Amino acid sequence: MTDRPRPPRPQHVMEVVERSQLSPSLVRLVVGGPGFSTFPTPPSIDAYVKIVFAKPELGLEPPYDLAHLRETLPREDIPVTRTYTVREVDETAGTLTLDFVVHGDEGLAAPWARDAQPGDPIVFMGPGGTYSPDPTADWHLLAGDLSALPAVGAALEALPADARGYAFLVVDEDGDRIDLTAPAGVEIVWAVGSEGGAATDLLATTMQSRTWPDGRVHVFAHGERESIKRVRALLKEREVPRDQISISGYWAYGRNEDRFQSEKREPVGKID
């Protein structure tokens, strides 16, 4: 059998339609345009896209021939990707909504989103994703930091009206506690003081501030990698079966996404 190269993942080329400031740390971009017609229906509630960033000074035209660029460009000039949740798809308007955590001047995606203007191009691959709330679960446990807030917000809206459970959310400051729509039986518990991801115990500690109901739970827990490792330990302690859990690091404190993704293959990057 020959090793065939993987076919290139399709890229969707759209543009920024609208930018708004959701909270001190969150910027919302609505993106759309003719490129929306190539975007497939997302497979799940936690659907995400991989935004491709190419150095503007190279003058590359999207969609990019990434395989060719990887072979021909110096390493530092190869376009890189950043992962973002699709908060909402509006089929009628032909738009997607993405919410970006703005975390200072570091990084590519966050400063780009902070400064984005209507008409700016955006190129991404996807959507991927695997989690949608299990309608047969007895209760739901959602947990995360600001990076997971778009997915948690979408999950809360997708829950049946009679769903029960908790959404535990950690944020840096009071103003980041944005309004969310949730079933009456799902309590949203905010904790302020995540210290830009440095407070790794806060999420797991906050999750223990409420009594967990009996019955079969469906878990969605994502955010800063070390804080998610604490959550994983807590779920093991509470003997929640692995097949009822969606869990992963969405980013890692002190690492950019390129390093974070490559560390997934090393012991430090594993959350079993």
Smallest gap from Cβ 101 to ligand FAD, in A, equals 3
Smallest gap from Cβ 98 to ligand FAD, in A, equals 6
Smallest gap from Cβ 16 to ligand FAD, in A, equals 16
With CB under 6 A as the contact rule, the residue among 36, 39, 64, 84 that binds ligand FAD is 84
With CB under 6 A as the contact rule, the residue among 12, 28, 82, 232 that binds ligand FAD is 82
Measured from each CB, the residue nearest to ligand FAD is 107
For position 83 contacting ligand FAD by CB under 6 A, the verdict is yes
For position 250 contacting ligand FAD by CB under 6 A, the verdict is yes
Exposure letters 142-161 (e unless 16+ CB within 10 A, then b): bbbbbbbbbbbbbbbeebee
Binders in 28-57 for ligand FAD, by CB under 6 A: 48
With CB under 6 A as the contact rule, the residue among 31, 54, 96, 110 that binds ligand FAD is 110
For position 127 contacting ligand FAD by CB under 6 A, the verdict is no
Q: In the structure encoding, which two tokens stand for residue 219, read together?
A: 């878990």
Please give the Cα distance from 270 to 272 (Å, whole number).
6
Residue type, 203: L
Smallest gap from Cβ 233 to ligand FAD, in A, equals 20
CB 226 within 8 A of CB 199: no
With CB under 6 A as the contact rule, the residue among 85, 95, 132, 206 that binds ligand FAD is 85
Binders in 156-195 for ligand FAD, by CB under 6 A: none
For position 108 contacting ligand FAD by CB under 6 A, the verdict is yes
Please give the Cα distance from 187 to 138 (Å, whole number).
15
Smallest gap from Cβ 138 to ligand FAD, in A, equals 26
For position 107 contacting ligand FAD by CB under 6 A, the verdict is yes
Q: Which range in 13-21, 66-74, 203-211, 248-256 contacts ligand FAD by CB under 6 A? A: 248-256
Q: Which range in 16-24, 32-40, 114-122, 144-152 contacts ligand FAD by CB under 6 A? A: 144-152
> Which positions lie near ligand FAD, rule CB under 6 A?
48, 82-85, 99-101, 103, 106-110, 146-147, 150, 196-197, 250-257
